[in-house]
Structure 1
Amino acid sequence: MFTHIMVGTNDIARSKKFYDAVFAALNIPPSEISATGRITYGKHGARFIVTPPLDGKAATAANGGTISFQADTPAMADAWHKAGVENGGKTIENPPGVRQTPVGPLYLAYLRDPDGNKLCIACKVPA
């Protein structure tokens, strides 16, 4: 459905530390800062890119926006959440756990990255 998602950052080194940690919990390898100053993570052909804004202005978080990643298990979701908090993220909303959604029960956890972007981890609840 999408080819990539890109978020802005005001501190690429801080973002690299945070995203390397949360993606490691999802078995996605760390990224290097490219010559263009971006970090790119990929899995199954999709890309997640972190970059300083090209217009030179400060990066800001989307108001009302959420980016959700998929975990294979609730334990993987918990590891993602813990890695995020330990690397500059802030836990938001309810603690990680099962929530009823329009598509059935999901195990969910939410974080704000160091630049304020709202992130979610989602896992189908095992039957």
Structure 2
Amino acid sequence: MFSHLFISVTDFDAAFDFYRALMAELGLELRFCEQEKPWAGWQSAGGARPLLVIGRPFNGQPHHPGNGQMVALNAANRAMVQRAYATALAHGGSDEGKPGLRPHYHADYYGAYFRDPAGNKLCVVCHQPEP
């Protein structure tokens, strides 16, 4: 469905450290990192798309996290959600909702919510029942 998602950041180095750790926890591969631009992108193992890209806004204006915007990333299982959440907080993220079931979405929705160091809201979610 998506070609790529671009998440703007203020401090590229802090954001790169955060996303590098988070993407590794989710099994996503670094496709590129160009410090001089600066921007970096990750992809699913062995796939070319979709990409998740971080970088400074292209127009050179200051970054502002969106109100009501969120990027949700898939996790293979609930343990991965828990590890990703812990990794996010350990790398400068802030809590927006601890890992747990959210049955108001559907019976097996297990997610965690947090913000990256630039204030962008993220979710890591598993839609599978516990084995």
Normalised by the length of structure 1, the TM-score is: 0.91
Q: Corresponding residue for 1:50?
A: 54
**Identity percentage of aligned residues:** 26
The Cα of 1:53 is off from its aligned counterpart by 0.9
Q: Which residue of 1 aligns with 2:28?
A: 28
Q: How big is the alpha-carbon RMSD for the aligned residues of Structure 1 and Structure 2? A: 1.5
One-letter amino acid of the structure 2 residue matched with residue 105 of structure 1? D
Unaligned runs of 5+ in 2: none
Give the TM-score normalised by structure 2: 0.88
Pick the aligned partner of 1:111 from 111, 114, 117.
Answer: 114
Give 1:30 shift: 4.1
**Matching residue of 1:71:** 75
Moved over 4 A (4+): none
Range that drifts further, 97-106 or 12-21: 97-106
Gaps of 5+ in 1: none
Q: Please report how far the alpha carbon of residue 63 of structure 1 lies from its aligned counterpart in structure 2 after TM superposition.
A: 0.5
- Measure, in 2, the Cα distance between the counterparts of 1:102 and 1:18: 28
Name 1:81's counterpart in structure 2: 85
Equivalenced residue count is: 126
